């Protein structure tokens, strides 16, 4: 009876303290890139946290600033989490400033969405380059690019989409159709598709989405 009672006490203690410890570690890790408001971790039994597994993790950040490689690394570190929900009002990833960011993970599947204003789109492009959304369907986004993009000083149709797990952009046309520009590539994050839509006309802003999975 005494051993059983001690085992129950130890189990209850780990169930209370291990998720808190894990939440503190996640907050510290993500906090290297900005401000984290809250982190909650659920795991049953909690000892699975010792092996990097958890039932769910919820992260609420205020703002982050990190590179695409750093963002991919954080997501890969959460590979043992069954469900994850990350939200932040503002996230800067490389040259892109994104708003209303949400990333969800279910098993190995990833789905992210964000908003971006026209001014932030222009700021992310080299001086003189412009893109205008044409349509988005089938996991691809079609735009009209101008200002010397792809080495052609003219207005050309182009698309962004997934290719062998990478996010690529390419012009559409017979003369330069073979050109490829890799926008994102990571050995652990396999991009499946992207989407875009106009959220508002005045001021002009877009909604972006991306689907991927860890492998």
User: What integer best gives the mean pLDDT of the chain?
Assistant: 86
Same domain, 195 and 129: yes
Same domain, 94 and 34: yes
Chain segment 115-134, per-residue pLDDT in tens: 999 999 988 887 778 888 99
Chain segment 165-204, per-residue pLDDT in tens: 999 988 887 555 567 889 999 999 999 999 999 999 889 9
In a domain, 80, yes or no: yes
In a domain, 113, yes or no: no
Same domain, 8 and 80: yes
Quick one: which of 70, 87, 89, 90 has its CA closest to 29?
70
The model's pTM is 0.86
Share of the chain above pLDDT 90, in %: 61
In a domain, 176, yes or no: yes
Over residues 104-112, the mean pLDDT reads 97
- Count of structural domains, the chain: 2
Q: Are 84 and 57 in contact (CB under 8 A)?
A: yes
In a domain, 184, yes or no: yes
Q: Are 206 and 199 in contact (CB under 8 A)?
A: yes
* Domain range for 164: 118-214
């Amino acid at each position: 009876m005494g051993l059983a009672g001690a085992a129950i006490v130890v189990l209850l203690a780990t169930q209370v303290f291990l998720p808190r410890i894990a939440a503190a570690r996640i907050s510290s890790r993500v906090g290297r890139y900005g401000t984290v408001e809250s982190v909650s971790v659920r795991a049953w039994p909690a000892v699975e946290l010792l092996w990097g597994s958890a039932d769910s993790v919820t992260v609420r950040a205020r703002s982050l600033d990190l590179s695409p490689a750093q963002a991919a690394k954080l997501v890969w570190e959460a590979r043992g989490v069954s469900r994850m929900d990350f939200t932040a009002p503002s996230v800067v990833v490389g040259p892109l400033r994104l708003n209303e960011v949400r990333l969800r993970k279910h098993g190995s599947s990833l789905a992210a969405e964000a908003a971006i204003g026209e001014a932030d789109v222009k700021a992310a492009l080299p001086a003189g380059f412009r893109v205008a959304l044409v349509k988005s369907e089938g996991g691809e986004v079609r735009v009209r690019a101008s200002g010397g993009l792809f080495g052609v000083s003219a207005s050309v149709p182009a698309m962004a989409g997934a290719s062998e797990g990478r996010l690529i952009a390419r012009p559409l046309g017979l003369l330069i159709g073979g050109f490829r520009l890799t926008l994102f590539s990571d050995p652990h994050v396999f991009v499946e598709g992207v989407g875009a839509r106009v959220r508002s006309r005045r001021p002009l802003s877009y909604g972006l989405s991306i689907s991927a999975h860890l492998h």
